[in-house]
Structure 1
Amino acid sequence: MSSDDVAHALERARVLARAGDDEAAKQAYLEVLQRDATQFDALNEVAALAYASGHRSAARTAYKQAVMCHPSNPVARVNLGNLLFEDGDLSDAETQFRAALRVDPDLPEAHQGLARVLAEVSDKAAALHWQKGFAGHAVVTRQYRGPGPSVPLLLLVDTGGGNVPTQQWIDERRYAVTAVYTEFYDPIHPLPPHAVVVNAVGDADRCPAALARAERVLALTDKPVINPPARVRATGRVENARRLARVPGVITPETRLLSRAALLAAGDLRFPLLLRAPGYHTGEHFLHVADRAALAEAAAALPGEDVLAIEYLDARGPDGMARKYRVMFIDGVAYPLHLAISADWKVHYFTAGMATNAAHRAEERRFLDDMPAVLGARAMEALAGVGAALGLDYGGVDFALAPDGSLLLFEANATMVIITPEPDPIWDYRRGAIDAALAAARRMLARRAGCGET
């Protein structure tokens, strides 16, 4: 291919991508790469397209190829680093961000990525990179991928994580998204044009400063807001345990936020006990402590200054298996999302072995098909009470059932993830429930933005 041919082929791929024809766009990019496997723009853009459509493995492969072929291009390294970070590969992500900074010491995106990595491992050097990465760069316009006019959307986010996952329901072919990193936004400046605001700062335990700044940002707008910060702030684990215990039919674990010294000195702890680092999810930094003899070692293994001491609620059924139900609350309606069944006390869908147990999948299917029949009247009333108490436009609750039909609360907040199943046919029974929840979120967003329902 001549340089003119490459430019023409790239433009064709971009036109197809903007028109929303992802498959045709991918083929057009691949045609360029068949002629020149090192072409940077094609590698970078096909990776971004794969990422946007949920094909993370393909995106990683293309970004790695871009780095291998263009090791001195900092953009390639930042893009790969961001994906590695999202996948939990902190060491390799740090390598990419530091390599990018050796090429361009002032690149904001590289400082941003490195700050996130260092913050995850509680490295105090993160503060310097937060400042270099976001000071003066608090507003980021994301690429609009639609073929026609867009709906402007303002997305409030936290620099250090703790954000609501929105990729599945904010369609970048319909909405032109401008992200505002609240901690670094100077309210002296007017906000970018927008029809609706989505507050994605979702973790009350991890992001108190970002939530406070989000409220200052929102003082500058009169547009509809999804998940106002004041409602999110009330969903910390300690606060939830206190206020949701007042909902009839809900059993919450006694939850205390303590320094390590206060934890070790506390004489009224009941064992077994759960210890958790505030602001972490998916079982990360979450430990079961059988007795006082194991307390000091467990506390020392957790990051941060403080720990959450959480009463252990036994979620095992008569068969000895622990169950965790997840229900989403979207625009005031409860949607069943999944049921994980595990022999482990720490129940998570991705580690529960649901793929290898047909009986457990059948039980989950019954829950998704008829939630009221499976949970019973007491739990359904409790669930409605939890949703009303939360008052979130988008959020969810994880829970188990007590023998009397009460709801055993694990957590309830805005950061619940809706993950689409793998293409394997064994998961076909889950698709309807997940599609229903995502469709509800999209309808809510469209209605609040004043652009009709989808």
Structure 2
Amino acid sequence: MWAPRKLRESLLQGSQAVGDIERARLLAEVGRTVEARDAYLEILGRDPSHRLALNNLGMLLYETGYRTAARTAYARAAAQHPDDPLSLVNLANALRENGDGAAARAHYERALRLKPDHAAAHQGLGCILADEGDSVGAAEHWRRGFESRPIVTLPYRGRRPPISVLLLAAAAGGNVAMRNFLDDRVFETHIVFVEYFDFANALPLHRLVINAIGDADLAASALSAARSLLALTRAPVINAPSAVGATGRSDNARRLADIPGVVTPGAETLPRSLIEGTDAVNVLKRHGFEFPLLIRSPGFHTGLHFVRVETIAGLPPALNELPGDELTVMRYLDARGADGKSRKYRVMMIDGELYPLHLAISAAWKIHYFTAEMTDNAEHRAEDAEFLEGMASVLGAKAMTALREIQKRLGLDYAGIDFGLNANGEILLFEANAAMVVNPPEPDDKWAYRRAAIERIYAAVRTMLLARSRVR
């Protein structure tokens, strides 16, 4: 347990009385992150292989936005301490987030050979197996990772009594990164993995419930469990599970299709057997699809298991790449501009208001901000900045009216929409749901123009959470 804040501050005044690692921890604890970083670097200057210094520095770097540097620290810790499960799992988590599933899996598996009951390693490996399409293996590792700890209470660092929050999460993933908005000097967060919660037990005391389960296609069973859990509380709820459950790709394609100024992809989730059969062309035509078209395995994000099929001849090899007994088929919506490059806008919808998050530009049809042509293209960043500073003028009145109607129909307190624009100024709907991530920009100065827009989003979420958690 951490010492009270005043005692921690007094300990820092006499650093000789505290070990170097403890001093660095205390500096981080009271928010003096630059000094904490320097303290860890000082330790590593004397002992470059110091296990705790490397792992703690990695955590500090990660939390302050230096994700690449954090991976470097974790990689060094794992290299210097190949038999330490903590170092291996920290590196695996960072690699998984960066999209290197194969390397992450190797480190999770090594950690479990060293410590078979390591809960975090089981949880992470479950996510890797799910991404690979091994639902049975994923479920077993999630059971072993979450069953013994269905509720995790995060440390609280504030000086005043906390605002206690229940954060409902799905073990299978598809969760909103709401922890980024929950300042641990204001909120005490109890994460409840709803699939493993024993309804015979009492919930922790709380003033607010945040449903962080955001992917209706991936986490239908978790959303069902969340709805049942809400019978145990009378606290205000952010993002009601029933509203989230109506935001699957196929559901959205149907219920948003009649909005003026919106073009949907007509998504339909079909049994794989129908698309693999000899009558596939007619099946697709009956559902309104022509080539080129898009097919994806439900429940995956960041472009994983998502392909474009140009002709009927390309259908069999494309299906071989996709896991799952059901597949979602969509019309290809051409979001290319006059320069031939595709544009994907993301707008966040928070407590009834619209906030621009980013514009990603790429020569590829499959666009994500972290892989788009933004880092090395100043013109693209300038176009992104123009969108962030003047969303309404960039999108036009037709698109803005459509966005407001989409927000109304979603009925969510926190959500986002990814879309393109056609030549008529209409919204080309890619997806709209609660599972949208708001990552802070890397500290590099080239991203300085994005910080004000992202801070507006963070401020809006914080304001909403504080307002909803007030005692009635």
The answer to whether structure 1 residue 177 and structure 2 residue 197 are counterparts is no
Structure 2 residue matching 1:248: 3-state secondary structure: coil
Deviation of the 1:285 alpha carbon: 1.7
Residue 110 of structure 2 is matched in structure 1 by: 99
Q: Tell me the distance in 1 between the aligned counterparts of 2:179 and 2:145.
A: 23
1:256 to 238, 254, 268: 268
The answer to whether structure 1 residue 312 and structure 2 residue 343 are counterparts is no
1:290 to 310, 322, 326: 310
Deviation of the 1:15 alpha carbon: 2.2
Structure-2 change in CA distance of 1:64 and 1:320 (3 Å): closer
The percent of aligned pairs where both chains have the same amino acid is: 50
Structure 1 residue matching 2:178: 3-state secondary structure: coil
Cα offsets for 1:122-146 (capped at 9, x unmatched)? 2332232222222121111223344
Q: Tell me the distance in 2 between the aligned counterparts of 1:134 and 1:68.
A: 28
Deviation of the 1:270 alpha carbon: 1.0
Structure-2 change in CA distance of 1:48 and 1:321 (3 Å): closer
1:350 to 349, 370, 374: 370
1:241 aligned partner, one-letter code? A
Cα offsets for 1:60-94 (capped at 9, x unmatched)? 23333333444333233222222222222222222
Structure-2 change in CA distance of 1:311 and 1:10 (3 Å): same
Cα offsets for 1:18-63 (capped at 9, x unmatched)? 2121122222333333344444333332322222222223332333
Q: What are structure 2's unaligned runs of at least 5 residues?
A: 1-14
The answer to whether structure 1 residue 281 and structure 2 residue 301 are counterparts is yes
Pairing of 1:203-352 with structure 2 (within 5 A): 203-264=215-276, 265-266=279-280, 267=282, 268=285, 269-352=289-372
1:397 to 386, 410, 417: 417
2:23 to 1, 12, 17: 12
Residue 368 of structure 1 is matched in structure 2 by: 388
Indicate conservation of the 8 Å contact 1:19/1:147, yes or no.
no
TM-score by length of 1: 0.92
1:50 to 41, 52, 61: 61
Q: Tell me the distance in 1 between the aligned counterparts of 2:337 and 2:68.
A: 37
Structure-2 change in CA distance of 1:212 and 1:293 (3 Å): same
The answer to whether structure 1 residue 59 and structure 2 residue 70 are counterparts is yes
Cα offsets for 1:147-192 (capped at 9, x unmatched)? 5543222211111221112243222332222211111111111111
Indicate conservation of the 8 Å contact 1:20/1:147, yes or no.
no
Q: What are structure 1's unaligned runs of at least 5 residues?
A: none
Root-mean-square deviation (CA, aligned residues, Å) is 2.2
1:91 aligned partner, one-letter code? A
2:419 aligned partner, one-letter code? F
Residue 199 of structure 1 is matched in structure 2 by: 211
Residue 74 of structure 1 is matched in structure 2 by: 85
Q: Tell me the distance in 2 between the aligned counterparts of 1:322 and 1:39.
A: 46
1:431 to 434, 445, 451: 451
Cα offsets for 1:278-334 (capped at 9, x unmatched)? 112222222111111111111121122211110112222344332221111011100
Q: Tell me the distance in 2 between the aligned counterparts of 1:42 and 1:193.
A: 35
Indicate conservation of the 8 Å contact 2:360/2:367, yes or no.
yes
Residue 83 of structure 1 is matched in structure 2 by: 94
Deviation of the 1:262 alpha carbon: 0.7
Residue 30 of structure 1 is matched in structure 2 by: 41
Q: Tell me the distance in 2 between the aligned counterparts of 1:348 and 1:69.
A: 34
Report the more deviating stretch, 241-250 or 356-365: 356-365
Q: Tell me the distance in 2 between the aligned counterparts of 1:64 and 1:431.
A: 29
1:169 aligned partner, one-letter code? F
Indicate conservation of the 8 Å contact 2:358/2:384, yes or no.
yes
1:298 aligned partner, one-letter code? A
Residue 433 of structure 2 is matched in structure 1 by: 413
Deviation of the 1:378 alpha carbon: 1.3
Q: Tell me the distance in 1 between the aligned counterparts of 2:168 and 2:319.
A: 33
Structure-2 change in CA distance of 1:355 and 1:54 (3 Å): closer
Deviation of the 1:211 alpha carbon: 0.8
Q: Tell me the distance in 1 between the aligned counterparts of 2:105 and 2:382.
A: 42
Q: Tell me the distance in 2 between the aligned counterparts of 1:239 and 1:107.
A: 38
Residue 121 of structure 2 is matched in structure 1 by: 110
Indicate conservation of the 8 Å contact 1:20/1:145, yes or no.
no
